[in-house]
């Protein structure tokens, strides 16, 4: 009895003392780090280990004895995932968890507008905060190496600089609400085929120049609070327990002070997880044990086996304490942050943010014969053809799938916008069921014959083996006989606008015959309204491609060698294209593309004046200033993305013909001119030297190219690095 009373007394003293220190913290009398150390020193070994692994599908335990909160997280790069039952993926069937779906991240990248990325993160953070979630599992910032990657729609394109610039304000926006962003998947998760065990073989140069910069920017500039490891291996170790990636680079070189979270089921070994940088193990055995038993979390690698390894001296207490410090800091930043603002959910403001991002991300790829914007004075009958005109896209694709409060389909958006002004005839046109193909084609042709213009909503969807987590695409071509249907439609009506709904590039063998083409992405809750505003001209398109559209898949660098370059032999994949990813490959190898990186048209036109440069030389401590006048020569207001690329004209190593180093999106009224300025510094000229394992610049001549895309270069200027 005395022993029990003694234990109770010690516990009460701990709680009171900790509460007093917490009160001091709230009065800003002690720092976060002091609060972390205070809690750490009061924890038992068992309590420390308990912090390092999940307690449910989407939560991790706190320390109830000390009043330290649990951590709750959910997927959503694009919205807050629906609630699931404690131990499974299946829905909890709640009635209050229907969210707003924001556009996919390829669409966000296509806006080339960092302010919209900030707005996106802010709105998303507010929705997570309202739902009492502490960690938002996103954004995805892997590089789109091949168009066939099933998760390309979750990422921000093929260029490390664009991805870096766009992910930082997104992260900052989320974390303003006291919710941790969790950038993923670190690192080299560039395919879904064999993703759980394929070993990525890549040069140090490509790793540091192409695949790591966005993660580095997330840490350095975004100050991100958590990072998720990837499933694949690098140098023979799984990335969720990879010493080089997690300890050497992330924590030591970059000084990351946040939490490394495993992807669900991405942990395989207690020693490597304990010593190599993983902090929080999630989802182990998630798909192996059905149903989950009550004691399954004790079998996690960082649970009971970790506790035993610590007691046996097989792993270090130092690494455990480092994990616990990080987890406590994350908890105090999020779940126990008393200063975080109130959240909000499903608000009109968030819907407006979703719509604006969708509108600015839509890319006008082609517009011959001025089919767009729709001339409503001369149009009486419009044919809307395609399954994607009526299909909702937010509820598929794997872990990013959402239960949405609403999703306006393209057909609904057009009907709402044009109802009573024109006749709209709909035909499904194509289906995943082959036995319906002829019937649907006949119906589509009949609708096309009696219409003035065809709006064909095609592309991909979030089916398995199209664009979906867990599998890459089967083909670069369009599924369900769309190419054949378009060829037949052209025979009866050549006024076709093709709207490609996808997160990746697709083959378009009929592109020379179709007058107008729009890249429409996955636009979320406001899909139909955003598209209707672009089609009618109420909004002038200003999106630019964050990816290249090759004519055929064999033109892509990842597909230009052999199967060991993609998808590998299930055990290994070799990145033989090295640093030449995306437009770097096409431009350097002089391979023509259907639509190039950075391309996007407008309903108005822009001219680029003669650039002004402050000097023809730059040294390590200098800044080179380049300004160029941009003028809107058209009849309506519009935005242009002015892009600056750098080329090393003489180098001892292979350098790409162009590398994006800066861009500015500028809004101009009709007839207006503005001066757009860029700053070039030493870091913009460097490459990663594998001998010294550092970035370096070689002296000599460089060229700055300024234009409207990676191919549409309007001005060039040379300078020297001395």
Catalytic residues: 263
Over its C-alpha atoms, the chain yields an Rg (Å, rounded) of 27
Of 462, 481, 484, 482, give the one whose Cα is nearest residue 473: 462
Secondary structure of 237-251 in HEC code, one letter for each residue? EEHHHCHHHHHHHHH
Which tokens sit at 415?
Answer: 């009907």
CA of 299: how far to CAs of 197, 206, 261, 280, 377, in Å?
21, 38, 18, 14, 69
Secondary structure of 82-103 in HEC code, one letter for each residue? CCECCCCCCECCCCCCCECCCC
Which DSSP letter does residue 252 get? I
Distance CA 705, CA 714 (A): 8
Strand partners, 657: none
C-beta of residue 128 within 8 angstroms of C-beta of residue 540: no
694-696 and 233-234 as β-strands: parallel, antiparallel, unpaired? unpaired
For the purposes of burial, counting CB atoms within 10 Å of the CB of 176, is it exposed (0-12), middle (13-18) or buried (19 or more)?
Answer: middle
**How many residues does the structure list for the chain?**
722
Residues 6 or more apart in contact with residue 75 via CB below 8 angstroms? 81, 137, 138, 399, 400
Distance CA 720, CA 593 (A): 31
Q: What angle do CA 124, 174, 215 make, to 5 degrees?
A: 120
Helix (H) or strand (E) holding 274, with range, is helix 270-275
453-459 and 496-501 as β-strands: parallel, antiparallel, unpaired? parallel
C-beta of residue 134 within 8 angstroms of C-beta of residue 548: no
Distance CA 59, CA 164 (A): 29
Distance CA 387, CA 385 (A): 7
Phi, psi at 682, each rounded to 5°: -50, -40
User: How far from chain centre, in Å, is Cα 399?
Assistant: 13
User: How far from chain centre, in Å, is Cα 4?
Assistant: 53
Distance CA 506, CA 459 (A): 8
Handedness of CA 555, 560, 565, 567 (dihedral sign): positive
Helix (H) or strand (E) holding 671, with range, is none
Which tokens sit at 465?
Answer: 């083996």
Long-range CB contacts (within 8 A, 24+) of 389-394 = 389/426, 389/455, 389/457, 390/426, 390/428, 391/461, 393/461, 393/462, 393/501, 393/522, 393/523, 393/527, 394/78, 394/79, 394/101, 394/522, 394/524, 394/525
- The SS3 of residue 659 is strand
């Amino acid at each position: 009895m005395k022993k029990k009373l003694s234990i109770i007394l010690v516990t009460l003293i701990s709680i009171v003392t900790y509460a007093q220190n917490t009160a001091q913290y709230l009065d800003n009398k002690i720092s976060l780090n002091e609060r972390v150390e205070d809690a750490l020193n009061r924890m038992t070994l068992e309590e420390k280990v308990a912090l390092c692994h999940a307690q449910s599908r989407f939560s991790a335990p706190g320390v109830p004895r000390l009043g330290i909160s649990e951590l709750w997280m959910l997927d959503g790069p694009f919205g807050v995932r629906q609630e699931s039952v404690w131990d499974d993926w299946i829905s909890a069937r709640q009635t209050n968890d229907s969210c707003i779906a924001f556009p996919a991240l390829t669409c966000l990248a296509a806006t080339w507008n960092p302010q919209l990325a900030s707005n996106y993160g802010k709105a998303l953070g507010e929705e997570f905060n309202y739902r009492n979630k502490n960690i938002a599992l996103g954004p995805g910032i892997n590089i789109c190496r091949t168009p066939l990657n099933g998760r390309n729609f979750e990422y921000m394109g093929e260029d490390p600089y664009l991805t870096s610039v766009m992910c930082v304000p997104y992260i900052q926006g989320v974390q303003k609400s006291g919710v941790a962003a969790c950038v993923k998947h670190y690192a080299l998760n560039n395919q879904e085929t064999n993703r759980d065990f394929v070993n990525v073989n890549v040069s140090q140069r490509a790793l540091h120049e192409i695949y790591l910069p966005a993660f580095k920017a997330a840490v350095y500039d975004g100050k991100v609070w958590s990072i998720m490891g990837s499933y694949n291996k690098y140098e023979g170790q799984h990335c969720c327990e990879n010493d080089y990636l997690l300890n050497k680079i992330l924590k030591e070189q970059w000084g990351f002070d946040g939490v490394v979270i495993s992807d669900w089921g991405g942990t395989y070994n207690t020693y490597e997880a304990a010593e190599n940088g993983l902090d929080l193990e999630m989802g182990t055995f998630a798909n192996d044990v059905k149903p989950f038993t009550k004691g399954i979390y004790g079998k996690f690698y960082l649970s009971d086996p970790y506790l035993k390894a610590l007691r046996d001296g097989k792993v270090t207490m130092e690494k455990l304490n480092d994990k616990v410090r990080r987890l406590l800091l994350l908890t105090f930043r999020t779940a126990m942050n008393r200063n975080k603002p109130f959240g909000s959910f499903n608000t009109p403001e968030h819907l407006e943010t979703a719509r604006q991002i969708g509108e600015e991300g839509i890319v006008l790829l082609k517009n011959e014969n001025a089919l767009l914007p729709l001339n409503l004075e001369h149009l009486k009958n419009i044919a809307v053809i395609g399954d994607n005109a009526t299909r909702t896209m937010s509820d598929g694709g794997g872990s990013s799938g959402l239960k949405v409060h609403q999703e306006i389909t393209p057909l609904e958006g057009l009907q709402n916008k044009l109802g009573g002004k024109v006749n709209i005839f709909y035909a499904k046109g194509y289906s995943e069921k082959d036995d319906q193909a002829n019937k649907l084609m006949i119906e589509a042709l009949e609708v096309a014959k009696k219409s003035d213009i065809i709006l064909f909503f095609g592309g991909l969807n979030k089916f398995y083996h199209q664009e979906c987590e867990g599998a890459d695409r089967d083909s670069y071509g369009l599924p369900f006989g769309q190419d054949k249907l378009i060829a037949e439609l052209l025979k009866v009506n050549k006024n076709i606008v093709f709207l490609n709904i996808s997160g990746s590039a697709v083959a378009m063998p009929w592109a020379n015959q179709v007058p107008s083409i729009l890249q429409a992405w996955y636009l979320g809750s406001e899909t139909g309204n955003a598209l209707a505003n672009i089609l009618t001209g109420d909004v002038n398109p200003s999106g630019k491609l964050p990816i290249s559209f090759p004519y055929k898949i064999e033109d892509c660098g990842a597909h230009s060698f052999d199967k060991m370059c993609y998808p590998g032999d299930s055990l290994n994949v070799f990145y033989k294209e090295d640093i030449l990813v995306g437009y770097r490959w096409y431009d350097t190898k002089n391979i023509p593309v259907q639509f190039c990186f950075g391309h996007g048209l407008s309903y108005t036109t822009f001219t680029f004046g003669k650039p002004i440069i402050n000097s023809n030389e730059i040294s390590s401590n200098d800044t080179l200033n380049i300004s160029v006048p941009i003028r809107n020569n058209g009849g309506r207001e519009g935005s242009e993305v002015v892009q600056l690329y750098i080329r090393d004209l003489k180098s001892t190593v292979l350098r790409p013909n162009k590398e994006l180093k800066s861009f500015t999106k500028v809004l101009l009224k009709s007839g207006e001119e503005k001066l757009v300025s860029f700053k070039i510094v030493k870091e913009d000229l460097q490459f990663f030297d594998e001998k010294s394992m550092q970035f370096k610049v070689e002296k000599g001549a460089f060229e700055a190219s300024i234009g409207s895309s990676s191919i549409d270069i309007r001005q060039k200027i040379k300078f020297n690095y001395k």
